[in-house]
Amino acid sequence: MSGGLTLDPSTLSGSGPTQIELNARHMDIGAVPVLGAALGETIALACGDGQMRFFARDGNMSAYQVHRGAILSMVVLPGEEGVLTGGDDGRFLRVSSDGTVTELSAHQRGWVDHVAAGKCGRIACSVGRVANLHDEDRHVHALEHPSTVAGLAFDAKGKRLAVAHYGGVTVWSKEKRGWKPSTLKWAGSHTGVTFSPDGRFVISMMQENALHGWRLRDKADLRMSGYPSKVKSWAWAADLPWLITSGADQAILWPFDGVKGPMGRSPLQLCWSVPSLVTAVAAVPGREIVFAGFATGQVVFSEIDAMAEPRMVKRSAGAPVTVLTCTPGGRLLAADEDGRTMWADLSAI
Amino acid sequence: MTASTQVPVTVLSGFLGAGKTTLLNRILTEQHGRRYAVIVNEFGETGIDNELVVDADEEIFEMNNGCICCTVRGDLIRILGGLMKRRDFDGIIIETTGMADPAPVAQTFFVDDDVAARTRLDAIVTVVDAVNLATHLNEAHEAAEQIAFADVILLNKTDLADAAAIAAVEARIRTINPYAKIVHSARCAVPLDQVIGLDAFSLERVLAVEPDFLTSDHDHEHEEEITSVSLAADQPLDPNRFEFWFGQIIQRFGTDILRAKGILNLAGEDWRYVMQGVHMLIEANFLGPWPPGPRISKLVFIGRNLDTMDLEGGFKACQVD
């Protein structure tokens, strides 16, 4: 796929729609795109009208009404047999790509703000200050926090659950007699959380224009600041690994190799192209590539290499790109805030 | 609705029992063809007649931006963000608790980029009880704060108070807030265009509303904790001197200054310089040429301990000699 892309004539200096854009499938879904994720070669798109839309490997889209209000959160289940969704109708659901819905829990007058899926069948959803952790034996632990839960993430093994809230992150660990909390403090409001793939670091998004991180071994702080806007999209990429984020005029890639991770190091900056801010980023499993979507509607591609030349995937202007997802086989979905989607098969070029 | 459309948000404040819920239900049930999302608080009065009602759990937090008074409502950032995914309504109404400080609510609309991009604060409407306001003002500082922040004050239950009592209550309100529009009502029966669709936080609106200067010579019998100062200058202001003085006032006294509004004649500029703000968050811009006639700069502060800030002297010193 990346070989195909480097042959694409759409360099930054070109004009008009790129070849990829001309060959892509464009739609107006008439709803706000909330989150996207790859299920194998199918792309799942959670939407503000309560529908899950699935873009199959041939680009055909199927829509299923699963929530009564907006879908607020969505993650892919390990094994890719479906997704978990949370809605403002208070329901926590499992949805498969054929539209089969299983209700996992329902919460009166509450929003299911966040969902997470880990290995061993462990899943979680949050309603207000409580994270409901469904253990592999189906026992549900109601884990309470000092303020509303603003992000949930399991580590790669499913043995720890990180919960973002005001004043820091709580990491719950599976122990013999249940789940035990450990607090990572940092002043301010934390609005999202992720574990590094090797489980050594926890990183949070903040209300301020910054990320904050902790090395779990010693709770050493990592400050990742200097963004001109809030970070709202991130993805882990490649083997190093890199944490790719939105929020600046280029995709920002923080290195998480070595003992210190990004401590005292500068991030790599890729996909510079237009005087605009990156609003969504995407990585591709097993590939050294990054996609960046911009506030002005463009989508740019780069190989993860300081010397790489950025390439235009979508040059036409539009509303801010809020969802960007690419499958391992090179099927890309870009969706903007106004509900316009572009599905492109990059492997066919 | 597209991403560029900002959804108007009306904030309803007022003490418990003043009539907030009555007003809310009037807004929701009147035949206007508009659909509202309503954000209520957990201690709110029940019986709201609307299909889209969201419970808010008041979470006030400080921003890490070095501004001590810059508190925002984290719950509102989350709920407004969630609601903006739906976009199946025309406006949002936030009902605050009777004891709520309106500042964090208002500041949320200035501080959070996503909230500012997708919604706009239409107005803060404070419902006050004509019979019990005096008691509320004497007993809890929140009552005065809610009046200080209001764009519209719905003086409710006027059918239960006599004319002299209403005049006295109105005078106390004016001492605190000379800018707000006071609307009289019984059981909150008011035309909706008096409370909804006001765009009160736009700079254009600052131009349209003349402050009530009655207060400057009003002989009031109560010592209000929150008062206002209205300043005027007929000489142009030196832009550098004004910027320095005003910046210093906001830096030093931002916690005590609740709201500020001004229309200024800066030396060398043909356009009116209009500003308005909440605590330290000030918005300002040049907004159209001065109309023919004398150019009078006007500046109003609403806050605590205003007499200690030498506002009059400082403002006077900004005038070109």
Amino acid B69: pLDDT: 66
> What is the distance between the alpha carbons of residues A33 and A47, in angstroms, rounded to a whole number?
5
Residue B167 has phi, psi (to 5 degrees) of: -65, -40
B36-to-B52, B98, B117, B197 alpha-carbon distances in Å: 7, 21, 19, 13
Amino acid B215: pLDDT: 46
Q: Specify the length of chain B in residues.
A: 321
For residues A136 and A177, the answer to whether their CB atoms sit within 8 Å is no
Among candidates B54, B55, B87 on the partner chain, residue whose Cβ is nearest the Cβ of A48: B87
Tell which B residues from 75 to 94 touch A, by Cβ distance under 8 Å: 75, 77-79, 82-88
By C-alpha distance, the chain B residue nearest A166 is B61
For residue A177, the tally of other CB atoms under 10 A from its CB is 5
Nearest to A95 by CA among A70, A69, A63: A63
Residue B145: partners with Cβ closer than 8 Å, 6 or more residues away? B101, B102, B103, B226, B258
B65 to A229: CB separation less than 8 angstroms, yes or no: no
Residue B183: partners with Cβ closer than 8 Å, 6 or more residues away? B152, B153, B154, B155, B190, B194, B195
Strand-pairing partners, residue B14, are B127
Residue A228: partners with Cβ closer than 8 Å, 6 or more residues away? A209, A247, A248, A249, A277
Amino acid B71: pLDDT: 87
Task: Quote the tokens at residue A165.
Answer: 């809230």
B46 inside 8 A of chain A by CB: no
Q: Specify the length of chain A in residues.
A: 349
> What is the distance between the alpha carbons of residues A230 and B79, in angstroms, rounded to a whole number?
17
Task: Quote the tokens at residue A147.
Answer: 């303020």
Contacts of B87 in chain A (CB under 8 A): 32, 48
Amino acid A293: pLDDT: 98
Mean pLDDT by 10 residues, chain A (349 residues): 46 81 95 97 97 97 97 94 96 97 94 96 96 94 96 96 97 94 95 97 96 97 95 95 97 96 94 93 93 97 94 94 96 97 85
DSSP for residue B292: S
Give the best residue of A148, A186, A277 to mutate against chain B (max B CB count within 10 A).
A148
DSSP for residue A202: E
CA distance B115 to chain A (A): 12
For residues A55 and A40, the answer to whether their CB atoms sit within 8 Å is no
By C-alpha distance, the chain B residue nearest A336 is B3
Contacts of B65 in chain A (CB under 8 A): 208
Amino acid A33: pLDDT: 98
**Which strand (E) or helix (H) includes residue A255?**
strand A251-255
> What is the distance between the alpha carbons of residues A262 and B307, in angstroms, rounded to a whole number?
52
A285-to-A4, A239, B115 alpha-carbon distances in Å: 17, 9, 33
Amino acid B214: pLDDT: 46
Contacts of B48 in chain A (CB under 8 A): none
Which residue ranges in chain B fall short of pLDDT 70? 1-4, 42-47, 65-69, 210-222
Average pLDDT of chain B is: 87
Among candidates A111, A189, A320 on the partner chain, residue whose Cβ is nearest the Cβ of B61: A189
Tell which B residues from 187 to 226 touch A, by Cβ distance under 8 Å: none
* Tens-place pLDDT, residues B179-211: 899 999 998 899 988 998 888 888 877 777 766
Q: What is the DSSP string of A43-102?
A: EEEEETTSEEEEE-TTS-EEEEE--SS-EEEEEEPTTSS-EEEEETTSEEEEE-TT--EE
Amino acid A320: pLDDT: 96
> What is the distance between the alpha carbons of residues A172 and A135, in angstroms, rounded to a whole number?
12
Amino acid B239: pLDDT: 95
> What is the distance between the alpha carbons of residues A251 and A298, in angstroms, rounded to a whole number?
13
A277 inside 8 A of chain B by CB: no
Strands (E), B22-70: 36-41, 53-56, 60-62
Task: Quote the tokens at residue B147.
Answer: 């009046």
A111 inside 8 A of chain B by CB: yes
A166 inside 8 A of chain B by CB: yes
Among candidates A32, A111, A208 on the partner chain, residue whose Cβ is nearest the Cβ of B63: A208
By C-alpha distance, the chain B residue nearest A191 is B78
Amino acid A4: pLDDT: 43
* Cis peptide bond prior to A241, omega within 30° of 0: yes
Amino acid A349: pLDDT: 47
Q: Does domain A1-30+229-349 have CATH number 2.130.10.10?
A: yes
Task: Quote the tokens at residue A182.
Answer: 């450990």
> Please, what are the domains in chain B?
7-201 (3.40.50.300), 217-317 (3.30.1220.10)
For residues B172 and B220, the answer to whether their CB atoms sit within 8 Å is yes
Tell which A residues from 209 to 238 touch B, by Cβ distance under 8 Å: 229-230
For residues B147 and B129, the answer to whether their CB atoms sit within 8 Å is no
Task: Quote the tokens at residue B200.
Answer: 């009160």
Task: Quote the tokens at residue B144.
Answer: 């005065």
